[in-house]
């Protein structure tokens, strides 16, 4: 593909041929990174061309995606999720120039659809028959959604504790669902072994280098929605580290194409017991496994699968990492919902909890423009939401009972 210069290993720098790609580095097993021919792409993908393009989906960025053509695209519309300026929430927490990118508005209700769309399109180009993935739930339900209506069969590995709504999505979209008696890291290892054994095309985060390419489209949209500028800070909930590195790549692509003039700082938010990347960033040492225990299932990871590129995104952008407790994450769900109308799953709300902590620690100024990436919809985990809000009031259909409630001050 002429638009792709090389595919480089993040760890050892070895070059690989895109058209004959293994998932990871053939020398050291490191994650791969697609390097584009910006000089060539610059001739086609410009601010002026984008302004004229009526396509309101991620396919408007085809010139800088690792696909040959638009012949084999999944059906549902992906991307162009709203970017809201959330004045009330901004005032409440002391950052008036605050925005929410509502990724729960994608077809399967999470940001993962961006990655799945690109990977499914590539699998169709390659005439693959069977796709697989391991996931805490969202990547898998997204893959199942986007392979629906194609001839691809989908076999999914999820940890046995995966949230019921995510499992329901998988089953409804027709995936074969294998619940692994273990955690996400165990499901991940099994999916890789299955791919090696049976040749199934693997979409797993931090293994397939195309996932980052899909996720970067979120940053392209942010720049367009902010009048062709980037914000000062982008707050991202982090588990494996693939979303944050994908978003960073998007800003870099637009910067190298001359579409934006400055880059944002990337701020990683992790859950306290699932904070391997934060620990490595703060200590300057290697990424070491942690327990991964958190209520925010989507960012519950013991050993991050794309940790190195996440660390690079944080460092290269001059950003930082914060960790938040499960309690802080839970509180952020209704706080965000009540001030903005956006209902986030725990991982999606973790960004708000992290932003509040960063403000308290003096790491965010009240003059900064800040974008919170709300990565997944709250209906994906209603148990946690109700834990945060408490239960509703129950009465018989009797006006006197209602009166008693009003008189008691509960209404």
Ligand X SMILES: Cc1ncc(COP(=O)(O)O)c(C=O)c1O
Task: Name the site residues for ligand X (rule: CB under 6 A).
Answer: 110, 112, 136, 138-139, 205, 237-243, 298-299, 345, 347-348, 375-376
Q: Judged by CB, which is closer to ligand X: 237, or 250?
A: 237
- Tokens linked to 243: 């979303």
Q: Judged by CB, which is closer to ligand X: 231, or 354?
A: 354
Distance of closest approach, residue 239 Cβ to ligand X, in angstroms: 3
Among 9, 115, 134, 167, binds Zn ion (CB under 5 A): 9
Distance CA 382, CA 330 (A): 11
11: contact with Zn ion by CB under 5 A = yes
CB 348 within 8 A of CB 374: yes
Query: From the CB of residue 263, how many other CB atoms can be counted at a distance below 10 Å?
Result: 17
Distance CA 167, CA 197 (A): 25
53 binds, among ligand X, Zn ion, none (CB under 5 to 8 A by kind): none
List the 176-180 sheet strands across, edge first. Answer: 176-180, 153-159, 130-134, 201-202
Sequence-separated (6 or more) residues with CB below 8 Å from residue 361: 322
Distance of closest approach, residue 380 Cβ to ligand X, in angstroms: 7
Q: Judged by CB, which is closer to ligand X: 45, or 188?
A: 188
Stretch of 10-18, 44-52, 225-233, 276-284 contacting Zn ion, by CB under 5 A: 10-18
Residue 28: C-alpha distances to residues 9, 25, 77 (Å): 8, 6, 37
Residue nearest to ligand X (CB): 376
* Three-class DSSP category at 185: helix
Sequence-separated (6 or more) residues with CB below 8 Å from residue 132: 154, 155, 156, 157, 191, 194, 195, 200, 201, 202, 203, 204
Distance of closest approach, residue 352 Cβ to ligand X, in angstroms: 13
Stretch of 14-22, 38-46, 263-271, 383-391 contacting Zn ion, by CB under 5 A: 14-22
Site map (CB under 5 A) of Zn ion, residues 24-53, x = contact: -x-xx-x-----------------------
Q: Judged by CB, which is closer to ligand X: 86, or 347?
A: 347
Q: Judged by CB, which is closer to ligand X: 83, or 247?
A: 247
239 binds, among ligand X, Zn ion, none (CB under 5 to 8 A by kind): ligand X
31 binds, among ligand X, Zn ion, none (CB under 5 to 8 A by kind): none
Q: Judged by CB, which is closer to Zn ion: 12, or 379?
A: 12
Query: From the CB of residue 101, how many other CB atoms can be counted at a distance below 10 Å?
Result: 27
DSSP per residue over 334-363, as a string? HHHHHHHS--B-HHHHHHHHHHHHHHHTT-
Applying CB under 5 A, the residues found at the interface with Zn ion are: 9, 11-12, 14, 25, 27-28, 30
């Amino acid at each position: 593909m002429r638009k792709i210069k090389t595919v480089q290993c993040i760890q050892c720098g070895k070059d690989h041929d895109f058209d004959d790609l293994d998932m990871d580095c053939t020398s050291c097993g490191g994650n791969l990174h697609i390097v584009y021919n910006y000089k060539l792409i610059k001739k086609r993908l410009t601010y002026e061309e984008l302004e004229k393009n009526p396509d309101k989906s991620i396919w408007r960025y085809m010139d800088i995606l690792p696909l040959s053509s638009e012949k084999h695209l999944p059906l549902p519309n992906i991307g162009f999720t709203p970017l809201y300026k959330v004045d009330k929430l901004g005032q409440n927490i002391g950052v008036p120039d605050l925005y929410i990118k509502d990724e729960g508005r994608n077809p399967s209700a999470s940001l993962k659809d961006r990655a799945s769309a690109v990977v499914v399109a590539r699998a169709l180009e390659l005439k693959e028959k069977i796709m697989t993935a391991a996931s805490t739930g969202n990547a898998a339900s997204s893959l199942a959604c986007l392979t629906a209506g194609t001839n691809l069969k989908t076999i999914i590995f999820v940890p046995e504790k995966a949230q019921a709504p995510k499992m329901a999505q998988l089953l409804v979209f027709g995936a074969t669902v294998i619940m692994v008696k273990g955690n996400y890291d165990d499901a991940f290892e099994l999916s890789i072994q299955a791919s090696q054994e049976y040749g199934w095309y693997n979409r797993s985060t931090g293994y397939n280098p195309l996932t980052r390419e899909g996720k970067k489209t979120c940053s392209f949209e942010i720049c367009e929605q902010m009048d062709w500028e980037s914000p000062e800070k982008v707050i991202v909930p982090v588990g494996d580290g693939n979303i944050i590195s994908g978003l960073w790549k998007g800003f870099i692509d637009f910067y190298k194409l001359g579409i934006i003039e400055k880059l944002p700082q990337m701020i990683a938010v992790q859950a306290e017991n699932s904070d391997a990347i934060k620990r490595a960033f703060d200590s300057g040492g290697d990424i070491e496994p942690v327990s991964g225990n958190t209520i925010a299932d989507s960012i519950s990871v013991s050993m991050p699968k794309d940790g190195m590129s996440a660390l690079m995104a944080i460092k290269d952008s001059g950003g930082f990492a914060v960790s938040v407790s499960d309690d802080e994450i839970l509180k952020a769900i209704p706080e965000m919902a009540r001030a903005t109308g956006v209902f986030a799953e725990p991982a999606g709300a973790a960004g708000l909890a992290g932003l509040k902590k960063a403000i308290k620690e003096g790491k965010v100024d009240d003059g900064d423009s800040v974008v919170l990436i709300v990565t997944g919809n709250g209906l994906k985990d209603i148990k946690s939401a109700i834990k945060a809000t408490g239960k509703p009031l129950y009465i018989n259909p009797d006006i006197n009972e209602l009166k008693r409630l009003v008189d008691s001050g509960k209404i």
